[in-house]
Amino acid sequence: MIEDKNQQRTELSDLGEFRLIDHLTKNFEIKLKSTIKGIGDDAAVLDFNQNKIVVTTDLLVEGVHFDLSYMPLKHLGYKAVVVNLSDVYAMNANASQITVSIAVSNRFPLEALEELYAGIETASKIYNIDVVGGDTTSSTTGLLISITAIGEVENNHVVYRNGAKPNDLLVVSGDLGGAYMGLQVLEREKEVYKVNPNNQPDLEPYSYIVERQLKPEARKDVVKLLKDLGVRPTAMIDVSDGLSSEIMHLCKQSHVGCDLYENKLPLDPQVISTCEEFNIDSTTVALNGGEDYELLFTISQDDFPKIKANPNLSVIGYIKEKEAGMYLVTRAETRIELKAQGWKNFND
């Protein structure tokens, strides 16, 4: 798709590495007071005064994390940023800067990279962050994106994974499994396209879940909401690899157990109907789907009244002593031990 012959095509070799990064980032504005110096020197210079700094990094590889046959490059750029910001928000911090490095093969024309960077720019505007550095280089095959995100948080406001206490409530934002089912729909359409390239897919009935896959959002709003509600989570993690795996991380690091209730898992009607269509169990999808980029956190029971009316938040279980283990309580009241089945790329 990205190699449409009708489009203008400028070879990367016409620019060279220095001019490429200059060209791609020339429209990027510095918006934040904490960015003293952005792109253009050996390093960016930042100033957070007394605040603490959080740093996180992610690597996205073509053929492993994304498939350009259905992922538009602009969406990919947007998603690559969002995935990293989600980790910053999961620390209860405010994302402020990113660096973006790409390795790219000569099969990509300059116009393709401009699309990618347009997505990065859009995300940086929407989330109010500055792009302060990066590197571009050639690769022997495919496209690879490495992003490091930096955020700031007031002293003592950091929320780690390890603070959950027995009797805390387990809460998740938004709904689960959408991104995974969106991927199933896109994979199916890709197979159809291979057989009949003239077939125009009708993705309208799947618009929500396809958007969850192609253009996810990080829950900056939830961090703000919790602050506004006066709720400080005792532990927090973002749901990138699947709810089950994230709950296990949180519980293990907090040295606690938990009961998770199947009937409390938040599912969008489109996820349920698509699961039926694909004959997949929606609970399995919610537990192991991954890429939801929702926030999973624990709160003290005292804070329950503050969140209970909020449509963005679902209480899905509660924290127990470590010895109680980590269990899913099904609709039939059966207890099933939680297992992590998130993405394991090396097992492919």
What values do phi and psi take at 289, rounded to 5? -60, -50
Site for a copy of itself in 265-324 (CB under 8 A): none
Q: Is 339 in the site for a copy of itself (CB under 8 A)?
A: no
Among residues 21, 24, 28, 56, which is the contact residue for a copy of itself, using CB under 8 A?
Answer: 56
Q: Is 17 in the site for a copy of itself (CB under 8 A)?
A: yes
Q: What angle do CA 302, 306, 307 make, to 5 degrees?
A: 105
Structure tokens at 103: 């390795």
Among residues 4, 197, 279, 346, which is the contact residue for a copy of itself, using CB under 8 A?
Answer: 346
Q: Is 133 in the site for a copy of itself (CB under 8 A)?
A: yes
Q: Closest distance between a copy of itself and the C-beta of residue 345, in Å? A: 4
Helices (H), 150-302: 178-195, 207-214, 220-229, 243-254, 269-278, 282-288
How many other CB atoms are there within 10 angstroms of residue 103's CB atom? Answer: 18
Number of residues engaging a copy of itself in binding (CB under 8 A): 79
Site for a copy of itself in 214-253 (CB under 8 A): 236-238, 253
| Spatial CB neighbours of 58, under 8 Å, sequence gap ≥ 6 | 80, 83, 84, 87, 146, 147
Among residues 21, 54, 120, 313, which is the contact residue for a copy of itself, using CB under 8 A?
Answer: 54
Beta 169-173 vs 52-61: how paired, if at all? unpaired
Site for a copy of itself in 105-124 (CB under 8 A): 106
Q: Is 87 in the site for a copy of itself (CB under 8 A)?
A: yes
C-alpha–C-alpha distance, residues 186 and 266, integer Å = 22
Among residues 7, 141, 167, 334, which is the contact residue for a copy of itself, using CB under 8 A?
Answer: 141
Q: Annotated binding residues, as ranges?
A: 42, 56-58, 65, 87, 117, 134-135, 161, 238, 240-241, 291, 343
Q: Annotated binding residues for ATP, as ranges?
A: 117, 134-135, 161, 240
